[in-house]
A and B are shown apart, each in its own frame.
Chain A
Amino acid sequence: MSERIKVLKTYKIFIGGKFPRTESGRYYQTKNNGIPIANICLSSRKDIKNAVAAARKAFSGWSTRTAFNRSQILYRIAEMLETRKSQFLEELVLQGWTNKNAELEIHKTIDRIIYFAGWADKINQVFGSVNPVATSHFNFTMLEPMGVVGLITNEETPLLGIASCIIPSIVSGNTVVVLASEKAPLSALTFAEVISNSDVPPGVVNILSGNKKELSPHIYSHMDVNAIGDFSDLTNDEIKLTAVENLKRIRSFEASDISNDNFDSPYVIKDFMEAKTTWHPIESGFANSNSY
């Protein structure tokens, strides 16, 4: 009997909970040692627009979920990843990783997701405050998500990188648009399938593949993106200038930060949150106020 013909997987991008091809119809080949592995979507500016629109639409629902619920959903992502370890291992090896390094990266990714999942219902206990103002008011400060966060991942750790971008941002209620590793995009695009199967609402996470140099300026200049997390070491000052137009919050990381154990920290979550302070008088004194 002849050998069975393998069914090759078509890798697609992830927008609004769906897996479309890029609207541009363009693609590039990802290779290992010169041997083509797969055809990958070369996403366009229009894809970014669609992804940001999907992220904006998802924001109000995701940010008003209870912290406990977001925590559970993030934990679910880790569970799903654990059960699909072999697929991620295979893909990393296909992209040139050794078995050992691939396994290390997968384990680190799962553990990191669990670490951050636990912060969802604790971040405001550690970083919020009740402020003892000198007047008769109850005054407190809570952290809130910023909104839509644009993320540009590193190249070196395609799975750990994409997860390390996404998880600290969405744990607090942000929604995200992420540019995947360009030379090893398979892990990010398969990670999208894990997200899709983990009760993460459509649009909370949007993942695009393509040419980072071409795409990242469009994320920086998009007027409906509230913050940027950049792990790419790619972005020059000229691109950063465009983010000033709507005063985006820019967080620049070193690509190597991702492999560092210190990355497991609530300060990364806090980087993508705003502090809101609320005042209310303590005494009522409102009796008969409407008599005229």
Chain B
Amino acid sequence: MNSNIQPLEFNGDWNLSPSLESTDHIDLKDKYGLFINGAFLKPLSNKYFSTINPSNENQISLIAEAGSDDINLAVKSAKDAYENVWSKMPAKERSKYIYRIARLIQEKAKELAVVETLDGGKPIRESRDVDVPLAAAHFFYYAGWADKLDYAFPNRNPKSIGVVGQIIPWNFPLMMAAWKIAPALATGNTVVLKPAESTSLTALKLAEIIQQADLPPGVVNIVTGAGSTGELIVNHNDVKKIAFTGSTSVGKSIMKSIAGTSKKSTMELGGKAANIVFDDAPLDQAVEGVVNGIYFNQGHVCCAGSRLLVQESINEIFIRKLRDRIQSLILGNPLDKNTDIGAVNSKSQLDTINKYIDIGKNEGAEIFQLNCTIPDKGFWCPPTLFTNVSQSHVIAQEEIFGPVLAIQTFRTIDEAITKANNTPYGLSAGVWTDKGSKVFNLTSKLNAGVIWANTYNKFDPTSPFGGYKESGHGREGGLHGLEAYLNLE
């Protein structure tokens, strides 16, 4: 089929002049304390760790590591702020504080985008166009809910919960902080939030914004550290609710440690989403969607379309178009506005991804990677796809959290649905077809919390996000995202 089509010629000069985002206007400190009760404090633990730029391995800043005394202090200040200030404040006033935060994020958008890219390795285009605007939009959206909660839950009287503990991942550091903090504040709770240890900086910049917004001290506390700091938050008696985004295995261990307590929880965990392409799909759009689905943010996306299911009749042409498109992606300095693929977030994540790539090869799948120059320093993985993958292969079952796509084929709709649903995960799925009735047939049968039809990896503060099955429980975003932070007695 289509054997007379000329392959694209990649030997020509595809190089673009560098277009580096300036870092002059960035204000970063050498050392960051913990943001507790409205001030940056030296950690009582006296411990610091370094945060590095994953694209060149240079140290950016030292970050405080919160120990148990620090967490006790943070929770106490959140509890005091809840009891004495925040829960007593009229909802209209609460709302105005949240609007202030939204506005300040917009004012400092460029700085936040650059810091996000420096600390996490993601392309500046993504942090500038996705992470930061969505973070601001989230605060705007939930600010407006604060004084309208009675309209959200018919025949119920929604009440805030108290101190909520929030633990967020390294893939969308600022955006995840916004997803967590905005609804928690709108519903009248106070917050102790811990960013991931490899990407603390934008959360600390957000702490500065919160300080500038004059939010009452203790309403938001941002404490940095690794997993052990997170455990201290989860197990603290005065923390009434845990909101966690991260891996399924950590999610399960949190659920075990709060089982039997009255703590509420929302869990946004892993995924292994299927992106399903039918022979009647608009193929070029589908190729863009599949590329965006798995290579966006170096594949560090819980809802990434990491499994591609292609209808057998278009397999050959589709894989060719996909390979051609991958070959035109630009991997390199994340600060360059032309860059499509930035650095992998950390050494340990790169090791994990490479382990899975080796497994894929050893299992007999056929590998294709972007042929490009890999920078000498930093952590890099070129966009990768595997063909000849079967359902039993590890790379078709386990979440890799990197730019690695496992491709399978199908003949019938039923086969596509069965393969797509054959996973313990259920976070998201994608469908590509030009036929409306087929779209709705698929979207109603796929077991996942978010379904993208003829699009992929779209997010919006009004749109609920969250998984079925082992991808977690509860929703973030939209009206449904309020419920996780309220008691509806």
- Contacting residue for A131 out of B284, B321, B462, CB 8 A: B462
Which listed residue (B252, B282, B464, B475) contacts A286, Cβ 8 A?
Answer: B282
B137 at the interface (CB under 8 A from A): yes
Q: Which residue of A lies closest to B317 (CB)?
A: A292
Tell me which residues across on chain B come within 8 A of A292, comparing CB atoms: 2, 5, 284, 317, 321
B260 within 8 A of A: yes
**Is B465 positioned at the interface, with any CB of A under 8 Å from its CB?**
yes
A267 nearest in chain B by CB position: B488
Question: Which residue of A131, A137, A246 contacts B464 across the interface (Cβ within 8 Å)?
Answer: A131
Given A277-B450, A277-B463, A279-B455, residue A267 in contact with residue B251 (CB < 8 A): no
Tell me if B480 and A129 are in contact (CB < 8 A): yes
The answer to whether B463 and A279 have CB atoms under 8 Å apart is: yes
B451 within 8 A of A: yes
CB-contacts of A231-271 with B (<8 A): 236-237, 240-241, 243-247, 249, 265, 267
Q: How far is the CB of A242 from chain B (nearest CB, A)?
A: 9
Among A131, A146, A226, A267, the residue within 8 A (CB) of B463 is A131
In the complex, are the beta carbons of B469 and A246 less than 8 A apart?
yes
B452 within 8 A of A: yes
Please give the distance in Å from B456's CB to the nearest CB on chain A.
9
- Is the Cβ of A141 less than 8 Å from the Cβ of B464? yes
Binary A-proximity of B328-340 (CB < 8 A = 1, otherwise 0)? 0000000000000
Q: List which B122-154 residues lie within 8 A (CB) of chain A.
A: 137, 154
**How many angstroms between the C-alpha atoms of A146 and B255 in the bound complex?**
19
CB-contacts of B440-489 with A (<8 A) = 443-444, 448-455, 458, 460, 462-466, 468-470, 472-473, 475, 478-480, 488
Instruction: Flag if B462 contacts A139 (CB, 8 Å).
Output: yes
Complex contacts, A276 vs chain B, CB 8 Å: 443, 448-451, 468
Q: Which chain B residues in 252-308 approach chain A with CB under 8 Å? A: 252, 255-256, 259-260, 267, 269, 282-285
User: Which residues on the A side are within 8 Å of B472 (C-beta)?
Assistant: 247
Contact of A141 among B269, B452, B480 (CB under 8 A): B480
Residues in B whose Cβ lies below 8 Å from that of A286: 282, 285, 434
Q: Which residues of A sit under 8 angstroms from B466, Cβ to Cβ? A: 275
Q: Quick one: which of A245, A246, A281, A290 contacts B454, CB cutoff 8 A? A: A281
Question: Nearest Cβ in chain B — how far from A212, in angstroms?
Answer: 18
| B453: contacting residue among A64, A243, A275, A280, CB under 8 A | A280
Q: CA of A141 to CA of B475 in the docked complex: distance in angstroms?
A: 11
Decide if A126 is an interface residue (CB 8 Å cutoff): yes
Q: For chain A, residues 38 to 81, give those with C-beta under 8 angstroms from any C-beta of chain B.
A: 64
Q: A131-B478, A139-B460, A277-B450 are in contact. Are A245 and B252 (CB under 8 A)?
A: yes
**Chain A contact residues, majority secondary structure:** mixed
CB under 8 Å from chain B, chain A span 108-141: 126, 129, 131-135, 137, 139, 141
Q: Is B156 an interface residue (CB 8 A)?
A: yes
Select which of B321, B454, B463 is within 8 A of A139 by beta carbon. B463
| Neighbouring A residues of B454 by C-beta, 8 Å | 280-281
Residues of B within 8 A of A290 (CB): 282-284
Report whether B443 and A244 are in contact in the complex, using a CB–CB cutoff of 8 Å.
Answer: no
Q: In the docked arrangement, what's the CA distance between A285 and B260, Å? A: 53
The verdict on A289 contacting chain B, using a C-beta distance below 8 Å, is yes
Q: By the criterion CB–CB under 8 Å, are A289 and B284 in contact?
A: yes
Contact with A along B212-229 (1 / 0, CB 8 A): 000000000000000000
Q: Report which residue of A129, A137, A277 has the largest number of chain B beta carbons within 10 angstroms of its beta carbon.
A: A277
Please state if B478 and A141 are interface contacts (CB–CB under 8 Å): yes
With A247-B267, A275-B449, A292-B321: A280-B463 Cβ-Cβ less than 8 Å: no
Q: Residue B462 contacts which of A133, A226, A246, A265 (CB distance < 8 angstroms)?
A: A133
Which of A267, A275, A290 is packed against the most chain B CB atoms within 10 Å? A275
Least CB distance, A142 to chain B, in whole angstroms: 9
Q: In the complex, which residues of chain A have a beta carbon less than 8 angstroms from the beta carbon of B255? A: 244, 247
Taking CB atoms, residues of chain A closer than 8 Å to B156 are 267
Which residue from B259, B283, B284, B464 sits with its C-beta under 8 Å from A240?
B259
Bound Cα distance A135, B457 (Å): 12
Cα distance A286–B252 when bound, in Å? 43
30 A-B contacts, Cβ less than 8 Å apart? A126-B154, A129-B480, A131-B464, A133-B458, A133-B460, A134-B137, A139-B460, A141-B480, A236-B260, A241-B259, A244-B252, A244-B256, A247-B248, A247-B252, A247-B255, A247-B267, A247-B470, A247-B472, A249-B473, A275-B466, A275-B475, A276-B449, A276-B468, A277-B449, A278-B450, A279-B451, A279-B452, A285-B285, A289-B284, A292-B317
- 11 more CB-based (< 8 A) A-B contacts, given A131-B462, A289-B282: A129-B478, A131-B463, A146-B468, A247-B267, A247-B269, A247-B472, A276-B448, A276-B450, A278-B451, A292-B2, A292-B321
Binding site for B on A (CB under 8 A): 64, 126, 129, 131-135, 137, 139, 141, 146, 226, 236-237, 240-241, 243-247, 249, 265, 267, 274-281, 285-286, 289-290, 292
Using a CB–CB distance below 8 Å, which chain B residues touch chain A?
A: 2, 5, 137, 154-156, 248, 251-252, 255-256, 259-260, 267, 269, 282-285, 317, 321, 424, 434, 439, 443-444, 448-455, 458, 460, 462-466, 468-470, 472-473, 475, 478-480, 488
